[in-house]
A and B are shown apart, each in its own frame.
Chain A
């Protein structure tokens, strides 16, 4: 169980890294593309410079009417520059949209991949205990919000194991017996602790299998709670 938990969190960590790198890459690529687009748009002076060159290069363009015509050409180019400014704004807004959409789709993609991996993990590992709550008053334990009734003695054993787990301790049978009976561990029998564990396993295992695998359908009978497509017999 702990293995799968750590691998799941590792997957989440690498997912975060991919998302961060991806977002940085997307923003960088689109910023470069946007800059290239914006700066490759000609500015209004390009028209004026062209008209000026025409004027200088052709010695016979000297009559007042011809010159007036050239000036009008240049002015229409300058008027077009306002349109170009509008294009710049539109390109900028489209770039922002594109960035947002790409970032969102990247995040969704990584989330889906991570979810799939987690689901595959869970399917492989069978039941994965995500929460364990011990209710001493009702002599019950809640595993993933499924309630199982235990005897007081079995619940005591489970509580001792849970406390040891929180301290990352491993207990021998004698130690378990010592904690529950209040005696010194050297005075306790290993077999007594093993018996407690066996009883806990029997009580809990029986109920868990009943809940997860062999269901009792009220007033009708018993049924495997397994998808019928996943059953294969050879």
Chain B
């Protein structure tokens, strides 16, 4: 029983992308017409230090999707994912 649980935990851990040390939630917009979204993005290790580092990392990735980053609300670890999953909706770990 504990083995199964362990294996499950391992599988879950390996399913998460390698090097994803932290996550950030952010706000972004599109102009004409104005569209807004709140999303969660995963960040590499080097971008976890500060909010501005996280913004620098997230901005080009959002821009590729046609969105302009407004701000990063916070940086958090994997434990914070669940509570934000619902709010982020389709933008949960999309970019």
- Residue ranges of A at the interface with B (Cβ–Cβ < 8 Å): 48, 51-52, 55-56, 59, 61-64, 67, 70-71, 74-75, 78
> A67 near B33 (CB under 8 angstroms)?
no
Partner of A52, one of B25, B70, B84, B89: B70
- A59 surroundings in chain B (CB, below 8 A): 73
Evaluate whether A63 and B87 lie within 8 angstroms (CB atoms) in the complex, with A55-B27, A56-B27, A56-B70 already known: yes
How distant is the Cα of A62 from the Cα of B26 in the complex, in angstroms? 9
Determine, out of B2-10, B35-43, B50-58, B59-67, the stretch whose residues face the partner at the interface: B35-43
Chain B residues with CB below 8 A from A55, complex form: 27, 29, 36, 70
Since A62-B88, A67-B38 are in contact, a sample of 4 more A-B pairs with Cβ atoms closer than 8 Å, ordered by chain A residue number, is A55-B27, A63-B87, A64-B38, A67-B36
Closest to B73 in A: A59
Chain B residues near A70 (CB, 8 Å)?
A: 36
- What 1/0 flags go to B11-34 for Cβ under 8 Å of A? 000000000000001010101011
Say whether A67 contacts B37, CB under 8 Å.
yes
- Classify the interface of chain A: helix, strand, loop or mixed: helix
Q: Are B87 and A78 in contact (CB under 8 A)?
A: no
Chain B, Cβ-Cβ closest to A61:
B38
Minimum Cβ distance to chain B for residue A72 (Å): 10
Q: What is the 8 Å Cβ interface bit string for chain B, positions 71-95, against chain A (1 contact, 0 not)?
A: 1010000000000101111000000
A49 nearest CB neighbor, chain B only: B34
Min Cβ gap A163→B in Å is 84
Closest to A67 in B: B36
Q: Is the CB of A71 within 8 A of B70?
A: no
A52–B73 CB distance below 8 A: no
Residues of chain B whose beta carbon lies under 8 Å from any beta carbon of chain A: 25, 27, 29, 31, 33-38, 70-71, 73, 84, 86-89
By secondary structure, the B interface counts as: strand
- In the complex, how many angstroms separate the beta carbon of A60 from the nearest chain B beta carbon? 9
**Quick one: given A52-B70, A59-B73, are A71 and B87 in contact (CB under 8 Å)?**
no
Contact B33 A62 (CB under 8 A): no
Q: Is the CB of A48 within 8 A of B38?
A: no
Residues of B within 8 A of A56 (CB): 27, 70-71
A71 adjacent to B89 (CB under 8 Å): no
Query: Among the interface residues A48, A55, A59, A78, which one has the most CB atoms of the partner chain B within 10 A?
Result: A55
Instruction: Tell whether A74 pairs with B70 under 8 Å between CB atoms, given A55-B27, A62-B87.
Output: no
Given the complex, which residues of A lie within 8 Å of B29, measured CB to CB? 52, 55
Assembly CA distance A75 to B21 (angstroms): 38
Is B38 a contact partner of A75 (Cβ separation < 8 A)? Answer: no
Q: Which residues of B contact A61 (CB under 8 A)?
A: 38
Cβ of A62 and Cβ of B34 under 8 Å apart? no
- Contact A74/B25 with A52-B70, A64-B87, A64-B89 known, Cβ cut-off 8 Å: no
Q: A56-B27, A59-B73 are in contact. Are A51 and B34 (CB under 8 A)?
A: yes
